[in-house]
Amino acid sequence: MIMLVILYALIAVAVTFALGSIVMLPISPLFLLILIPAFILFQVLPLFPPAGKRIHSAKLRNTAGGTMLLKIFLVSMVPVFAFNIPAMMGSFESWGIPAIVDAPWRWTGSILLVLLIENIVFWNGIVRIYITSAQLGLKLRVAGALCGMIPIVHLVMLGILIRVADKEVKTENEKILLNESRVDQKICECKYPILMVHGVFFRDFRFFNYWGRIPEQLEKNGARVFYGKQQSAASVEECGKEIAERIQEICKETGSEKVNIIAHSKGGLDSRMAMAKFGAAPYVASLTTINTPHRGCEFADYLLSKIGESHQKRVASMYEAALRKAGDPNPNFLAAVGDLTFSACKKLNEDMPDPEGVFCQSYGSKLNRARSGKFPLNFSTLLVSRFDGPNDGLVGAKSFCWGEKYEFLTVKGNRGISHGDVIDLNRENIDGFDVREFFVQLVADLKKRGF
């Protein structure tokens, strides 16, 4: 690929040289034999960029083709102007190449043609990555569009876009190859189905998966995945009842005796309540909680104490109206938030003892630097840290640990892992933390334990 980029740059120089001087130079059959195929390649390559046969996805091949075209654009534009501007000024008249004053129409035509083709190369490449790349995100797309109007800066921005898209192609293609290599092993094919339980203020929507790309990876590796479908904003007790009913539905539908629960945030408390109060424990083989506030959030206590009752009701009314439209039959904003406070969780833990015969484990994470996370967690991290210490943007690290096994997830550098990152909410690839593979190995471990 590197050689192709260099070759294209040399062709760009040769074509403009040739077009600018073709009348003055003697034309030999060998020269035409080289020039004509080069000229054809110069025009055809932008339309059909090579992407490599090892890329196992049409979408990724399009992204890779786009980055290839952008690299060609960057590399070829430099020599085109570095060689041709001196040539137009008459620096190579001893070679039979006329200055622009002697051949204005030929030079103008050659430069316009090359600029046209270079524009085709650029726009073909940028449109490809803008349409197909998932990791560029809205922020980089907007920045790329704005910086495109600023000289020099636009080249730096283009380099950033190429780097992000190239990295995405490599990461996603490796993911495809990994799954293909172990497809027969079905490492996530557990004895019992997986029940994924969402956190507060979200629902299990059909067209937007709360768990990002995780369920797809689990299913590709043999897992049977179901969702909690509890209300997005209700008390732990109310949601616990709904989870218990959902477990019965899944057992009846699949003919399975039990389920393996993987719950995020408040969903962990809901699941514990389902077992403690609503008789779900005999039907649960394992419970894995992810960034669940088992000991509550002191920041939530402070916030509620500082906001007057009238303001609380006004905010609750606004949220509940929106939640009803989203599908909650009986939302209770204040009950949902209130059950996440330190004081409420202390009482809940007294009412929800560890269930007998159920394997329970927990995971937690934190943002290493507040500004490294996605909005709004990059903003809330600093506020939460004043009350709960190191946190994931919402929940303090000291609140995560519960059950027989606990693991704290972290990465080197400033990024860290936020409350949303740990469930792939933003579909973002994070250096040092492959969230999809983390869940695959989590479920694979449940299978090894006989669940």
Do 305 and 373 fall into the same domain?
yes
Do 276 and 211 fall into the same domain?
yes
Do 115 and 253 fall into the same domain?
no
Do 205 and 168 fall into the same domain?
no
Phi, psi of 194, deg, nearest 5: -95, 130
Per-residue confidence in pLDDT tens, the chain, 451 aa: 556 556 556 665 555 555 544 444 444 555 555 555 655 665 566 666 666 568 888 899 889 888 988 988 887 776 666 666 666 666 656 655 565 555 565 666 666 766 777 787 888 889 999 999 999 988 899 999 998 888 889 889 999 999 999 999 999 999 999 999 999 999 999 999 999 999 998 988 877 899 999 999 999 999 999 999 999 999 999 999 999 999 999 999 999 999 999 999 999 999 999 999 999 999 999 999 999 999 999 888 777 777 777 888 888 888 888 888 888 888 998 999 999 999 999 999 999 998 999 999 999 999 988 777 676 666 678 888 888 889 998 899 999 999 999 999 989 888 899 999 999 999 999 999 999 999 999 999 999 999 9
At 56 the three-state DSSP class reads coil
Do 289 and 417 fall into the same domain?
yes
CATH number of the domain within which 367 lies: 3.40.50.1820
Number of domains in the chain: 2
Do 141 and 261 fall into the same domain?
no
Do 175 and 190 fall into the same domain?
no
At 414 the three-state DSSP class reads coil
DSSP one-letter string for 307-345: S-HHHHHHHHHHHHHHHHHHT-SS--HHHHHHTTBHHHH
Do 148 and 278 fall into the same domain?
no
Which range of residues forms the domain containing residue 27?
Answer: 2-179
Secondary structure letter of residue 297 according to DSSP: B
pTM listed for this prediction:
0.85
Q: Among candidates 164, 154, 156, 155, which has minimal Cα distance to 130?
A: 164
